[in-house]
Amino acid sequence: MTALNRFMEQISEINERLAELQAFTDDHMGYNPNDINWGHVGTAGYFLEKLTELTDRAYKRGEHAE
């Protein structure tokens, strides 16, 4: 396997994960919107923190800025 082949496999896997996350958030993260409490807000905040870390790294923002 070449580095390019493995890289492309990983890109495909990333896209699969992104699609899963999109479906997860489209479904309100599996929660009934009428039952949302501050614990759910904390869970969503955790996901947002991790995704922000990834996008900041990808786009060289925040602590990853040049």
User: Which pLDDT score is estimated for 2?
Assistant: 98
- pLDDT tens column, 26-66: 999 999 999 999 999 999 999 999 999 999 999 999 999 98
Question: How much is the CA Rg of the chain, to the nearest whole Å?
Answer: 16
User: Which pLDDT score is estimated for 66?
Assistant: 86
Angle at 64 between CA 62 and CA 66, to 5 degrees: 100
Whole-number Å distance between alpha carbons of 23 and 28: 9
Are 56 and 64 within 8 A, CB to CB? yes
Which tokens sit at 5? 């082949």
Those residues with Cβ within 8 angstroms of residue 57's Cβ, 6 or more apart along the chain or in another chain: 64
